[in-house]
Structure 1
Amino acid sequence: MLETIEKINSAVNNFIWGVPAMICIIGVGLYLSIRTNFLQIRKFPYAIKTTIGRMFKKKEASDGSITPFQAVCTALAATVGTGNIAGVAGAIAIGGPGAVFWMWISALLGMCTKFTEVTLAVHFREKNAEGDYVGGPMYYIKNGLGKNWQFLAVLFSAFGVLTVFGTGNATQVNTITTAIDSALLNYNVISQNGVSTLNLIMGIAITVLVGLVLLGGIKRIGKVAEKLVPFMALFYVILAIGVIILNYRHVPTVFASIFEGAFKPSSVTGGVVGSIFICMKKGVSRGIFSNEAGLGTGSIAHACADTRKPVKQGFFGIFEVFADTIVICTLTALVILCSGVSIDFGKAAGAELTIQGFTSTYGNWVSLFTAVAMCCFAFSTIIGWGLYGARCIEFLFSSKVIKPFMVVYSLVAILGATVDLGLIWSIADTFNGLMAIPNLIALFLLSGTVVKLIKEYTEF
């Protein structure tokens, strides 16, 4: 029975995160870019000026909402996660350095996709019974496409609820416990026998922390995100830039390997990775998995922003993909490639490859700091996905189920810390990909609305 489920899930997962899905996500991104005359490139300076400029403005949000900066931090909390550390390492190991180039391409198109998602989410949002702004793919499907398309909104929400417990919580908690265990074992602070007890304690502690944040509502989620995300991002960026500076002589060679490997992988990987298709697939899929452009999830957080201008908030979507993939993912790639660590091309790799890049440059002591960074990344993802799950289950039922959901969601952290859930990880990943299908259909059908909103926006 278990083997049958594994085979079915593997087949569906390979399709969802395979060529057809990537063609759809890249295709919709390209279509939206053409319809908006490549807004993400034309107005990129304006987007950076608008977003970064608004970040430093002190402003209190009205009731039922959060500030635009808190909204982007909440969205980044969910997207900037272990995928930026482990996902990039895996893409390079399987696809070669050229995978980074295709990651950039997916991000370039993903900027426009994310802009569209955020703009529609703010434009079609509602206020719930509690007086909070609610929005996202399920609401722009419901309010933008009408009753005949309602089933897509239900599908998106159902897949979202099924996804959050695995992708958003248990796997992230597992990352936290693994990072801390490795760091403490490395310094002989604990023995192998004490790991299970420590993991249980960590699971309970994470459950309490997640519950305190999520049960405080959208205001508390926003306040935690706006403090945690800039800290963890800046912390990681400084560590990564340090590696690059200390290995600056390798930088030209690394960039040459990225561009050459994108079109001729075998020349860089010694023939192990000889297919452009594998290189492209790994780069694109890891880019999409990291920045979530096309999945629609980030727009749920942006819909809570205290703003009357959907297009203006949409520029935060461009900034979000840029910060997540072009900045943080690229820095991770450079840490691995500039440090000169041995890469076993063609074989799976994860966060350990990135950590090796740091330790080979700074020494073993930095493993403690990378453990802290990974904990922050994973915890922020748990918080962000908690909001997404709450909004999805609220759409399916009502706002009355939010608090019971938050309690159950928080308790899953104990399972993630103590139990090897195996197949659950893969199933959650499949449902995560399935969320993209109704969202992409909606983005394609509502592209005209976005073009109209851009034309009406007069602040360029």
Structure 2
Amino acid sequence: MKEAFAAANEALHSIVWGPFMLILLIGVGVYFTIRTGFFQIRYWPMIWKCTIGRIFRKKVTGENGAISSFQAAATSLAGCIGTGNIVGVATALVSGGAGALFWMWVSSFFGMITKYAEILLAVHYRKKTDSGEAVGGPMYYLSAGLGQKWLGSLFAVFCVLASFGIGNMTQINSIAESVSAIAEDSSRFWIGTAAAVLVGMVILGGVKRIAKISAVTVPFFALFYLSGSILILLFRLPEIPHAFELIFADAFDFRSAGGGILGYLSMNAVRFGFARGVFSNEAGMGSGSIAHGASENQNEVEEGMWGVFEVFFDTILMCTITGLVILTTGVLNSGLNGAKLTAAAFSSLFGTKFADWFLAISVSMFAFATLIGWFYYGESCVKFLCEKKSAARLYQFIYLACIVLGAVMELQFVWSLSDTFNGLMAIPNLIGLVGMQKTICGLTKKYQIGIREEKRKKQRFRRST
């Protein structure tokens, strides 16, 4: 029975992450990039100003204590900064070669505008609950904007199922595996129990507590990991140019095709680069927009700019640095995979003991952030599907129970299943983006016209004075 289910999942996985999905993901990103006039490049200064530039400004609390844009972004990043940045990158490099990193860049470049569009729609079509809280996300803009509630419900079902995999069991399993590897006497069951208690203390406080905790922890977690990674790259500085040569050479290696269009290695590089890129930054899946739906920001375009920044930070910065650490330390062909491969790269400079502790702490911090971020995604979808409070409470119980279960299970099959649900989530979401292209492009164009008019006013004022 288990073998048959695994075979069925593998068949579905090959379809979901086959050529159709790759074309759809890249096609939607390319389309909106062109339609918005390469928004993610031309408006990068404005994007930076409206995101990072506003972090240190005085925060204004919205109606009923709505979360700030930065808290929404931190919650969104908490959902995607996880094992994908450490384990996922290593898996992509082993499975698809160094060229997979190039295709992660490609997916992230076009993913920037895709995630921008998702957040724009989430804010534009969000609604108020009976308690006065703002809620948004693909399930709402597919229902209200596209007029297809069944697609919104389908997305919500896939998101709930994915929350137990990508957002929960795979994350806690990485924590348990990392901690038990350096503390041999530790019990994976008690590791899972402790994590469930900590997660429970956060999530039972609702979106406001999740957002506040994420706003403090996510920047610290990222800085901790980046500091160690950049230190390695400083010591391996002469190897970085060779690493980039290897990335571009493998990305366009056509030799094994025997004169065909794409070689086997190149196909694997594209497949795993895109799959792990989406696994890491969630562009195209729509899940990250759920956090922004609760933001206080009333300007959907400027809130959408956080999507551009999130993809840049998660993939262009975090995943690239992990990939370069692996490539510059020469451990790619060591026969290792996943977290063990990344650990081998760090141990080349820090030594095995320190590297194991460093990665165990990094993986645990990232995975914990993902656990609380994905809980909010799943709970939001449960509330969309069923407004009864008992349904949300049941989801909370199951989610916390899965943390304990995931800590003690062998999760190779769950990893594969998570990839499948990721792809299934993307299908209704991408259909919605295409169906609401006029809204996305129209709001973006209106904002661009407003920016140009504001510049003209400032120029006229300068001339008059």
Superposition TM-score tier, normalisation by shorter sequence: over 0.9
From 404, 416, 419, the equivalent of 1:429 is 419
Give the match for residue 455 of structure 1: 445
From 303, 313, 333, the equivalent of 2:303 is 313
Tell me, yes or no, if the aligned pair for 1:211 and 1:407 is still in contact at 8 Å: no
Report the 3-state secondary structure (helix = DSSP H, G, I; strand = E; otherwise coil) of the residue aligned with 1:131: coil
Correspondence 1:198-347 to 2 at 5 A: 198-264=187-253, 275-344=265-334
Report the 3-state secondary structure (helix = DSSP H, G, I; strand = E; otherwise coil) of the residue aligned with 2:297: coil
Pairwise CA distance, 1:408: 2.3
Report the 3-state secondary structure (helix = DSSP H, G, I; strand = E; otherwise coil) of the residue aligned with 1:435: helix
2: CA distance between counterparts of 1:100 and 1:424? 24
Tell me, yes or no, if the aligned pair for 1:135 and 1:300 is still in contact at 8 Å: yes
Pairwise CA distance, 1:4: 1.9
Pairwise CA distance, 1:252: 1.2
Letter aligned with residue 213 of structure 2: V
Residue 84 (structure 2) pairs with residue 83 (structure 1)? yes
Distance 1:14 1:338, change over 3 A: same
Pairwise CA distance, 1:424: 4.0
Letter aligned with residue 177 of structure 1: A
- For residues 396-425 of structure 1, what are the alpha-carbon distances to aligned partners after superposition, in whole Å with 9 as ceiling and x for unaligned? 001613233223211211111123355444
Give the match for residue 118 of structure 1: 119
Give the match for residue 47 of structure 2: 47
| Structure 1 stretch displaced more, 212-221 or 403-412 | 403-412
Letter aligned with residue 349 of structure 2: T
Tell me, yes or no, if the aligned pair for 2:101 and 2:273 is still in contact at 8 Å: yes
Give the match for residue 349 of structure 2: 361
1: CA distance between counterparts of 2:165 and 2:274? 22
Letter aligned with residue 356 of structure 1: A
Give the match for residue 155 of structure 1: 154
Pairwise CA distance, 1:445: 0.8
Give the match for residue 21 of structure 2: 21
Tell me, yes or no, if the aligned pair for 1:142 and 1:150 is still in contact at 8 Å: yes
Correspondence 1:25-40 to 2 at 5 A: 25-40=25-40
Gaps of 5+ in 1: 268-272
Give the match for residue 176 of structure 2: 177
2: CA distance between counterparts of 1:241 and 1:425? 29
- For residues 39-95 of structure 1, what are the alpha-carbon distances to aligned partners after superposition, in whole Å with 9 as ceiling and x for unaligned? 111112221222111122231433252110000000000111101111111111122
Give the match for residue 444 of structure 1: 434
Correspondence 1:179-198 to 2 at 5 A: 179-185=178-184, 190=185, 195=186, 198=187
- For residues 202-224 of structure 1, what are the alpha-carbon distances to aligned partners after superposition, in whole Å with 9 as ceiling and x for unaligned? 11111111111111011100011
Tell me, yes or no, if the aligned pair for 1:33 and 1:40 is still in contact at 8 Å: yes
Pairwise CA distance, 1:242: 0.4
Tell me, yes or no, if the aligned pair for 2:93 and 2:332 is still in contact at 8 Å: no
TM-score of the superposed pair, with normalisation by structure 1: 0.92
Tell me, yes or no, if the aligned pair for 2:169 and 2:403 is still in contact at 8 Å: yes
1: CA distance between counterparts of 2:211 and 2:220? 14
Tell me, yes or no, if the aligned pair for 1:96 and 1:261 is still in contact at 8 Å: yes
Pairwise CA distance, 1:451: 1.2
Correspondence 1:124-135 to 2 at 5 A: 124-135=125-136
Report the 3-state secondary structure (helix = DSSP H, G, I; strand = E; otherwise coil) of the residue aligned with 2:51: helix
1: CA distance between counterparts of 2:417 and 2:244? 36
Tell me, yes or no, if the aligned pair for 1:74 and 1:301 is still in contact at 8 Å: yes
Supply the RMSD in Å over aligned alpha carbons. 1.7
Give the match for residue 270 of structure 1: none
1: CA distance between counterparts of 2:245 and 2:87? 23
2: CA distance between counterparts of 1:181 and 1:435? 33
Pairwise CA distance, 1:319: 0.1
Tell me, yes or no, if the aligned pair for 2:176 and 2:188 is still in contact at 8 Å: yes
Report the 3-state secondary structure (helix = DSSP H, G, I; strand = E; otherwise coil) of the residue aligned with 1:61: coil
Report the 3-state secondary structure (helix = DSSP H, G, I; strand = E; otherwise coil) of the residue aligned with 1:275: helix
Distance 1:423 1:90, change over 3 A: closer
1: CA distance between counterparts of 2:226 and 2:245? 22
From 345, 361, 370, the equivalent of 1:381 is 370
2: CA distance between counterparts of 1:358 and 1:411? 33
Tell me, yes or no, if the aligned pair for 1:99 and 1:283 is still in contact at 8 Å: yes
1: CA distance between counterparts of 2:135 and 2:420? 25
Pairwise CA distance, 1:225: 0.4
1: CA distance between counterparts of 2:285 and 2:38? 20
Letter aligned with residue 122 of structure 1: V
2: CA distance between counterparts of 1:408 and 1:131? 27
Gaps of 5+ in 2: 257-262, 453-465
Identity of aligned residues (%): 45
